[in-house]
Amino acid sequence: MTEPDLSGLLQDKVVVLSGVGPGLGRALGEQAALMGADLVLASRTEKRLEKMAARVREHGRRALVVPTDITDDDGRSRLVEAALSEYGRVDCLINNAFGIPPMDPLTTIRLDALRAAQETNVFAPLRLSALFADALAETPDKEGGSIIMINSAVLYQSQPEFAGYKLSKGALAHLASSLATELGPRGIRVNSVAPSYIYEDVNKAYFDWIASETGRTHEEVYAEKAGPTDLKRLATADEVARAALFYATDLASAVTGQVLNVDCGEFHAGA
């Protein structure tokens, strides 16, 4: 697949990215840099942040590393201060960090485990969005600031083992919708993307595990997961990242309160 030329779509904008891990976190940072953005990178693991920062700099853009526990009030405040001290502006906040809840039926999950997941998956995005709101409202970008929530197509599934996961992402979807209404008068757009299976290292390893447990090949497992999609394939991390970053560009200047499915046509919302 030929990589599109997206250079300049985020030229000189400042993007704050929470959750800089392998797969989608890496892709979001790298694709934003390829589009011309400078990055503020936040997660708990400094080594991972430095690796991502090196990739951003290889593309000729600046990267600020801010080791942050996004569930901590003081840590969140320091992140905002560091971003504004370094760049003097923030144009986009991407809430990508995610804590996996127990993959068990909802009635069997301990409440403390659910609370811990919600701290990362719902309350942290809420507080970060509130803390960055002033900067986003004051961005020199004439199209205004943008908040992007990384959601999931688990919104459309009802398997018992996904219940805790769906609880987090369902709350995040409602949070994004409410913030779009609340922050819209300040010129801040709030949108979500909902990918299904992303074909990257974590899911590749998961497919290998399924294959070994069921006596099948990796290719057979892939075909099973891709079967429900219209395109008969799974999206890559870079494809999901580019779709998410569309919201941060001037092309999406009139788009807010939306959930964009990035799933190769597995789910047709509203159909």
Cβ proximity of 196 and 235 under 8 Å: yes
pLDDT digits (tens, 9 = 90+) for 110-130: 999 999 999 999 999 999 999
The percent of residues above 90 in pLDDT, for the chain, comes to 86
User: For residue 233, is pLDDT > 90?
Assistant: yes
Distances (CA, A) of 242 to 25, 74, 157, 174: 12, 31, 24, 23
Architecture of domain 14-198+236-260: 3-Layer(aba) Sandwich (3.40)
Tell me the domain boundaries of the chain: 14-198+236-260, 199-234
pLDDT digits (tens, 9 = 90+) for 145-187: 999 999 999 999 888 889 999 999 999 999 999 999 999 999 9
What would the two tokens of residue 149 be?
Answer: 């929530």
What distance in Å separates the CA atoms of residue 270 and residue 71, rounded to the nearest whole number?
34
User: For residue 1, is pLDDT > 70?
Assistant: no
What distance in Å separates the CA atoms of residue 254 and residue 261, rounded to the nearest whole number?
18
- Which contacts of 109-117 are long-range, i.e. CB under 8 A and separated by 24 or more positions? 109/163, 109/164, 113/164, 114/164, 114/167, 117/164, 117/168
